[in-house]
Amino acid sequence: MENPKFIEEVEKVLELSKNIPKEDLIFTYNEVLYPSVTCDVDTFKTMETFEAREEDLMLIAYPKCGSNWTILLLLGMVQAAYKKEPPAGVPLIEFKSPNKFEKLRADPSPRVMGTHLHYDHIPQSFFDKKVKMLVVFRNPKDTAVSLFHFYNNNPMLPNYNSWDDFFQDFMAGKVVWGSYFDHAIAWNKHLDEDTIMLMTFEDMKEDLEGSVKKISEFLGISITDEQVKQIAEKGTFRSMKENSRKTHGEFGNIIFRKGDVGDWKNHFSEAQSQEMDAKFEECLAGTKLGQMLKYNVHCKL
């Protein structure tokens, strides 16, 4: 799904970011940090009155839990089922873009959108219209490592001097889009609702074809078994990474890094691992989301 116009816009933003002072790359809104290059207060305020449609398809994922990967899978499903071309841009509702909401209002259904926002900050209209929401989470240790590299490889975010410094901020929720565990606790309360389905990054890596089928059935996207197979074959993380320059330009190497399960073992000290284990136990032990993350499988040595 090559999109020259989108790639041109992304590379302009990347170039612009390189000239912004480090202290101006982040701003706070409703006590949460956001990147100033891609988000602004005006967009957040306009977003509050955005009108969702019942047919909308919404992806929600904390940063570096697989959102870009899953968005491309969703767009592939919609393209196969409706012969609909993908939008000219990353369809995250909080990202600023000229006339974005006007374009979304004019876009025919089904509209594919995504967000990194906390449950409490998603526009109420999406809940009122009972929009189907696909929620994707990844184990917290690999999420932290991936977000650390995202900060340090991305001119839109300030760099960290060390992994240790980043780890402290991650555990305190002082990173863009806020605390991983705050997001997880909030979404866990709603996993039994008919309009919400949770997938994990790890399960998608293990069985992508089965995951595509499950997602399409939940979202009501009618595609054949052959189309499911084709989308899964084209949509492996490796394939997405190999084609990332075609789909995302220079930004492709930033958002598609390794996509491995277990990379945390190359970064966490024993003390950091124990601190994360204790935080997981405090926040998610015994919960449905906690069980689905298979923490003892993916986050223990």
Catalytic residue numbers, as ranges: 116
Nearest to 57 by CA among 73, 44, 42, 46: 73
208 three-state secondary structure: helix
How distant, in Å, are the alpha carbons of 33, 39, 181 from that of 157?
11, 12, 21
**Which string of DSSP letters, residue by residue, matches 22-64?**
GGGSEEEETTEEEETTT--HHHHHHHTT----TT-EEEEE-TT
> Residue 74's closest CA among 145, 116, 133, 155?
133
- Distance separating alpha carbons of residues 56 and 67, to the nearest angstrom: 17
- d(CA 42, CA 64) in angstroms, rounded, equals 25
Backbone torsion region of residue 108, taken as left when φ is above 0, otherwise alpha when ψ lies between -120 and 50, otherwise beta: beta
Bridge partner list, 229? none
CA-CA distance, 252 to 143, in Å (whole number)?
Answer: 18
